[in-house]
Amino acid sequence: MQGTGAVFKREFQGYFATPVAYVFICIFLFCTGIFTFYVGNFFARGQADLKAFFTFHPWLYLFLIPAISMRLWAEERKSGTIELLMSLPVSLAGVVLGKFLAAWLFTGVALVLTFPMWITVAYLGDPDHGVILAGYIGSFFMAGGYLAIGACMSALTRNQVIAFVLSVVVCFLFTVSGAPIVLDFFAGWAPQILVEAIASFSFLRHFNAITEGVIDLRDVVFFVSLIALWLFANAIAVEMRKAG
């Protein structure tokens, strides 16, 4: 698509041109460490796997991903560079995709840098590497889902703080929609099919399914179509709000 490559390159390099990347990666690694070893009782569990590590990913992403995505469009609108960008011979879809892919790859880099965890379990025991790999893949797709939501929210406002808050709220809804407490609330009165529908939108449910070690195509399709849908909404939001 017209402009995807150029925008991708600019955005991706942009993360490393400012302290943003380093701060984000440090916080991400620090938090995954804390959660895995202290909150998740990695050692006490006495199991050679990364369950304790992956369990906290949705909750970490809930706050860290909106911090990455909040500037994607809000900043362009605030500084007026969106006018420059959209008067280049690039397609809107190309720019939306380029920005998203750069942010996604960046979270991928942060995720890859957690590899010492993997080395640790491999050193301490005899983990099922297939399950761990599935966990990483699932986590990466889930990060894409959160990012696509955040990108769309960022296009709705020129204020990054508002974009952040909106993203956290929407991401939260998509995270907990499968949690027992939410489903119990609906199960009392709503038709079963609605409860099922709500649950099926849950990031937790699809992510947990993948971290069990089985990459079901349906879970991957869920995240990919969710990303596509939110990016489509992203493009519409940019188109509608760019002049204001």
Partner 1 sequence: MSLLEIRGLSKRFGPITAVDNVSFKVDQGEVLGFLGPNGAGKSTTMKMIAGFISPSAGGVSVLGEDVAEAPLKTKAAIGYLPEGAPTYPDMTPRGFLEFVADARGLKGPERKARIDYAVEHVDIGHVLDQSIDTLSKGYKRRVGLAQAILHDPPVLILDEPTDGLDPNQKHEVRELIRRMAPGKAIVISTHILEEVEAVCTRAIVIARGRLLAEGHPVEGGWQLGEHFAEPGRLDAVFRAITMGAPSSAQEAA
Tell whether residue 6 is a contact of partner 1 (CB under 8 A).
yes
What's the CA dihedral at 108, 109, 112, 113 to 10 degrees? Answer: -140
What is the Cα 182 distance to its own chain's centre? Answer: 21
Tell whether residue 81 is a contact of partner 1 (CB under 8 A).
yes
Contact assessment for residue 198 and residue 177, using Cβ atoms and an 8 Å cutoff = yes
Tell whether residue 243 is a contact of ligand ADP (CB under 6 A).
yes
Alpha carbon distance 91, 93 (integer Å):
5
What is the secondary structure of 175-202 as a DSSP string? HHTTSHHHHHHHHTTS-HHHHHHHHHT-
Interface with partner 1 in residues 122-161 (CB under 8 A): none
Partner interacting with residue 153 (select from partner 1, ligand ADP, none; CB below 5-8 Å by kind): none
Tell whether residue 80 is a contact of ligand ADP (CB under 6 A).
no
Residue type, 28: F
Q: Which is nearer to ligand ADP, 188 or 244 (CB)?
A: 244
Binding partner 1 (rule: CB under 8 A), the pick from 29, 86, 105, 209 is 86
Binding partner 1 (rule: CB under 8 A), the pick from 34, 88, 124, 197 is 88
Q: Which is nearer to partner 1, 75 or 212 (CB)?
A: 75
Partner interacting with residue 129 (select from partner 1, ligand ADP, none; CB below 5-8 Å by kind): none
Contact assessment for residue 151 and residue 107, using Cβ atoms and an 8 Å cutoff = no
Tell whether residue 244 is a contact of ligand ADP (CB under 6 A).
yes
Cβ-Cβ contacts under 8 Å for 210 (sequence gap 6 or more): 134, 135, 137, 138, 141, 216, 219, 220
Part of the chain binding partner 1 (CB under 8 A), chosen from 7-15, 48-56, 106-114, 160-168: 7-15
Cβ-Cβ contacts under 8 Å for 75 (sequence gap 6 or more): 81, 160
| Burial bucket for residue 47 (CB in 10 Å: 0-12, 13-18, 19+) | middle
Tell whether residue 242 is a contact of ligand ADP (CB under 6 A).
no
Q: Which is nearer to partner 1, 77 or 206 (CB)?
A: 77
Partner interacting with residue 90 (select from partner 1, ligand ADP, none; CB below 5-8 Å by kind): partner 1
**Contact residues: partner 1, CB under 8 A:** 2-3, 5-7, 9-10, 13-14, 17-18, 79-81, 83-91, 242-243
